[in-house]
A and B are shown apart, each in its own frame.
Chain A
Amino acid sequence: MPIFNLNKRKLASDNFFQKLLIYVFFIFLIITIILPLFSLFNKAFNDRSGIFIGFENFFKYFSNPALSQSVKNTFFISATTTIIAVFLALLYVYSISRIQIRWKTFFKYIVLLPLFAPTMLQGISLVYLFGNKGIFTNIGLNINLYGAVGIIISEILYTFPQAYLILLVGFEMTDYRLYEAAETLNASRIKQFFKVTLPSVKYSFISALFVCFSLSFTDFGAPKVVGGDYNVLATDIYKQIVGQQNFSMGAVVGIILLFPAILSFAVDRITTRKQNAIFSSRSVPFRFKREKGDYIFFIYCLIISGLIALLFLVAVFASLVKVWPYDLTLTLAHYNFKTVSSSGIKPYINSIIISLISATLGTILIFLSAYLIEKSRSLKIIRLLSYFFSIIPLALPGLVIGISYIFFFNRLSFNFFGLAIPNIFNFIYGTIIILILSNIIHFYSVPFITANTTLKKIDKEFENVSNSMAVPGSITFLKVTVPLSITAVMENFMYIFVNSMTTVSAVIFLYSSNLKLASIAVVHMEEGGSIAAAASMAVLIVLTNIIARIIYEVILKKVRRKTDVWKKR
């Protein structure tokens, strides 16, 4: 009986259309992530005329005392921010997950407020409190806001929610049986904290440290507002590129910015896996016990959430008073942006439109891509590479995305071994497309991982069921996969929307004069001295996000009710 090679025959593998889509997404990711990064490195290693000069730009950068001082400054800021923010967050999470205190829901929600705001908002509020004409400055409490102090305080507020979320996951994935055992061995609460709690969250703790460091290292908004003369890498890039048009130097700074992000990304991948491994399906959730000193933790949470709320309320207040600090009558005048900027309220409208489009397109693209990567059977290597490319944006600070997009999409042609190949993507530069694209890529990874995790939980055999019954994969996708993943899809939408509303770091390089965004308007108005208008715009952004979130929760409730019909036993 002849034995012939059956490998050529593809049995239950994907149809042509599915394979085509896999290739399309793969190429999409290469164009939007890999090639721009390539351009970035290219720029950093070439001089202004495009000739390869190796590390010369790097030497030039570090030999410039002002520029290398920025590196030291940025490290100092990030280290200080990280230590303070993570420890404050640790105590906050401990209070919520281990202590029986009141108002927990409030504390859980208020801590997320900074996530709804552009990072400039903290800076603006701090200016009103501690700036040259600040409330506290006027009564004699001068803390030298402009400079390291202001940046650090802003960054602490910015990174606090992120540290909180990371630590919260670690704390929630706990096994109460360990605490029970500790109790029977007569361990005091403090001992339990050091011997049980901390070890079981050590991976989240490490992850929080690295993420906070990376975030504060690369943030642009806060140093822009309250940095004063204190140079950090983020503002350096801005000056080099927007100010001096020195793209090579800008590229150098961009690459330096990559390092903490990549390191933090690697650490986060390792620790997430290890933290999840601590939690088994047998683990018992935490049971709260009342103890005497509980009220201390309540007061702590009150103080922290009070500070967070205060910073926001100051900005609101600032947007509503006529002339700070002289004329404190309330007015809505500052919300009439036409008086300080020719574009008026248009940037705000632009932001909403662009955020909605980014969220819609992004959610669909990311979910479809995650589905193809996870559930297909053919093209294993392409899918693996696509998965890897999809995670890279986690390691890319917005500034890096912004400038690498300038380098890649602004070129009219590419020099490929002496041949000039026209850049067919050049047309998107300066248009709304590049803004939407940068948002989608900037916020790609988290929704991707969410989608991937959700899809993994869905029975692997569903595709086989439809395969064996000649039901097209698209029907199974729409009738089964999407309904089962609906909460993840909604979550992703909110994530991209909120982030697109508040982001400034990528779009500050990519917007065109008729496509200004709200966050950019905040920066410009603050730059131009119209700080009250800047505060108003920032408040608008936050309010929009809050309203969006409320709408989301309402819709989520309705969706939950529908899915509960088939979920409950």
Chain B
Amino acid sequence: MSSIAIDNISKKFGNFFALKDINFKLKDGEFLCLLGPSGCGKTTLLRVIAGLEEPDTGHIFLNGREITGLHPSKRNFGIVFQSYALFPNMSAYENIAFGLANKKIDKSEIKSRINELISLVNLEHVKHKYPAQLSGGEQQRVALARALVLKPDSLLLDEPLSALDAKVRNKLRREIRETHEKLKITTIMVTHDQEEALTMADRIVVMDKGRIMQIDTPQNIYEFPSNPFVADFIGEINFIKNQNHFKAIRPENININGGQGLAAKINHREFRGSFYRITLFLINEKQLIKVDIPSNKRTDILENNQTVFVDLPAEKIIIYEDNENTFNYINKKTVLSS
């Protein structure tokens, strides 16, 4: 049972801000993802929470108790490292048993706890094998079990799936989520993969350059991105310039038709399996936009250089002011697209 509160955390490396003014609260039993591009500070934040790094300012609270100065071993966090850090010279069983090495626990209880975890992560058939003989997915599960052996209050995962190939990743996403549900354990997971965050998280913390850009549920972040960075980082987005602001809309929400809306010329048509990605050039706004049409809709009428009309439903448009924050970001993108 643990709620975690992060209060005003900042960390500098020289003149470089790795983390700036990080504030948020986690509910007990929540699954939170820290999501962002490389270098945004998400791993640094996780390590600060874990106690492996010191923040320059700020506090961390666990169930109301301040833990900012505590040694990592006293925070009762289970940590899974990006490299897994499995001990190569120990079997899966021995790796998992490692945390119990010097603890005064009954031998039979040690055995039962480890076997319990081994069956929880489905490693029964390989428990005596060495890491080099395990697949990536199996190694990951050993790392997870090892982190859970001391019955931690919370689980911290540092990009646990980034080393695996796509099919294994999908399977393990579900397994991690299931483990989370079974143990009802508060979990923070770092990832750079937005699909992972969208599928696994109760809430996502989107980060960029050491700052939090938005915290919300996956659905809200996708439908109502609060700033252009989040809009562009998650999924695809179009930014259409309009005097002193930008209209932002997702490609799947735009309709192509024969007469209503903005005039556009078809630039390119790309088959993506379940949908077509159509690139169009808006004639009056003089910029490119992307529109996604499901494959089961008629697209044979869409020929290159054909003039069509695009309809942007008002309820799907998000407005961003053209100010200092958005200026460099969006303008750079729209200039490049045209």
Contacts and interface: CB of A to CB of B under 8 A. Distances in A.
Interface of A: 1, 3, 6-7, 9-12, 459, 461-462, 464-472, 475, 479-480, 483-484, 563, 565-569
A460 to B, nearest CB: 8
B50 interface: yes
A468 B52 contact: yes
Contacts of B133: 568-569
A569 B57 CA distance: 46
Given A11-B72, A567-B132, A569-B133, A468 B89 contact: no
Interface residues of B, number: 41
A523 B7 CA distance: 74
A469 B152 CA distance: 10
B236 to A, nearest CB: 35
Nearest to A467: B72
B57 A468 contact: no
Contacts of B50: 468
14 contacts: A6-B68, A11-B53, A12-B71, A459-B85, A461-B81, A468-B72, A469-B98, A470-B102, A471-B98, A471-B99, A471-B102, A479-B98, A563-B89, A569-B133
A464 B90 CA distance: 17
Contacts of A469: 73, 98-99, 150
Contact of B58 (A3, A7, A462, A480): A3
A353 B246 CA distance: 83
Contact of A12 (B53, B58, B90): B53
Nearest to A4: B57
Interface in B88-105: 88-91, 98-99, 101-103
Contact of A566 (B8, B56, B132): B132
B61 to A, nearest CB: 12
Interface string B63-94: 00000111111100111010101011111000
Contact of A11 (B7, B54, B131): B54
Contacts of B73: 467-470
A479 B79 CA distance: 20
9 smallest beta-carbon distances between A and B, as pairs: A470-B73, A461-B85, A9-B69, A566-B130, A469-B99, A468-B72, A461-B81, A3-B57, A468-B79
Contacts, number: 101
Contacts of B146: 465
A451 to B, nearest CB: 18
A171 B131 CA distance: 33
Contacts of A567: 88, 132
B130 to A, nearest CB: 4
Contacts of A9: 54, 68-69
Nearest to A15: B71
Contacts of A462: 85, 87
A59 B51 CA distance: 61
Nearest to A569: B132
B102 A475 contact: yes
A12 B69 CA distance: 9
A347 B51 CA distance: 57
Given A12-B72, A469-B98, A475-B101, A6 B85 contact: no
A484 B88 contact: yes
A3 B57 CA distance: 6
Given A11-B51, A461-B81, A6 B57 contact: yes
B251 interface: no
B41 interface: no
Contacts of A565: 130
A12 B52 contact: yes
Given A465-B146, A568-B133, 11 more contacts: A1-B8, A6-B56, A11-B70, A12-B72, A465-B98, A468-B72, A468-B79, A470-B74, A471-B101, A484-B88, A566-B131
A464 to B, nearest CB: 6
A49 B232 CA distance: 81
A472 B146 CA distance: 16
Interface string B1-26: 00000011000000000000000000
A6 to B, nearest CB: 6
B81 A465 contact: yes
B286 to A, nearest CB: 45
Contacts of B36: none
Interface string B274-307: 0000000000000000000000000000000000
